[in-house]
Amino acid sequence: MNEDFFSMWENIKKPVLILKDKGEIAYCNSALKELFNVETIDRATHCYKLIFDSNYPCFDEERLICPVKLLMKNHRDSCIVLRTIKVNEKNREYLIECFRENNFIVAIFTEVTEIIKEFGKEKIKSIKEFASSLVGEVSKNSRTFITLISISNFDEIVKIYGIETSIVVSGKLESKIKKFLSMSGVESFAISDGNIVTVFKNGFSTEEIKKIERKILSMLTEFEVEVLDDKVPVNTVLVSVFLKKEEFSTVSDLISVLLLMKSRLSFANEKKVSLDSIQGIEKIILKKRKKLKLIVKSLNENKIDIFFQPIININSGKLEHFEVLMRVRENNEVIPAGYFIDELYENNLSVECDIKVLEKLREYKDILGKFGYPVYINVSHRALGSLFYRDELKKTIKLLAKSNVKVNVEITEQVLFENFKILEIASRELNFSIAIDDFGSGYSSFKLVSELVKRGMLTAIKLDSSLVKNVMDDENLIRIISLISFMAKIFRVKTIAEYVENEKIVEILKELNIDYAQGYFFSKPIPIDEVEKVVEKFGSNCERW
Which pLDDT value is given to residue 542? 41
The CATH architecture that domain 2-112 belongs to is 2-Layer Sandwich (3.30)
Which pLDDT value is given to residue 326? 95
Q: Considering the chain, what is the average pLDDT of its residues?
A: 78
206 and 242 Cβ atoms separated by less than 8 Å: no
The ranges of the chain annotated as CATH 3.30.450.20 are 2-112
Distance CA 24, CA 45 (A): 6
420-430 vs 387-402: helix crossing angle, rounded to 10: 30
Distance CA 462, CA 365 (A): 25
Ramachandran region, residue 452 (left: φ > 0; alpha: ψ -120 to 50; beta: rest): alpha
Distance CA 254, CA 284 (A): 17
Which pLDDT value is given to residue 417? 64
CATH superfamily label, 117-288: Reverse transcriptase/Diguanylate cyclase domain (3.30.70.270)
The ranges of the chain annotated as CATH 3.20.20.450 are 302-538
Global pTM value: 0.67
SS3 368: helix
- Strands (DSSP E) contained in 140-266 are 143-151, 187-192, 195-200, 224-227, 230-233, 236-244
Residue 521 is inside which H or E element, if any?
Answer: none
For the chain, which ranges sit under pLDDT 50? 116-124, 249, 251, 266-268, 277, 541-545
The ranges of the chain annotated as CATH 3.30.70.270 are 117-288
Which pLDDT value is given to residue 267? 46
Which pLDDT value is given to residue 118? 46
Beta bridge partner(s), residue 327: 305, 336
533 and 319 Cβ atoms separated by less than 8 Å: no
The CATH architecture that domain 302-538 belongs to is Alpha-Beta Barrel (3.20)
Q: For every residue of 279-299, which 3-state class applies, written as one string?
A: HHHHHHHHHHHHHHHHHHHHH
Distance CA 338, CA 371 (A): 28
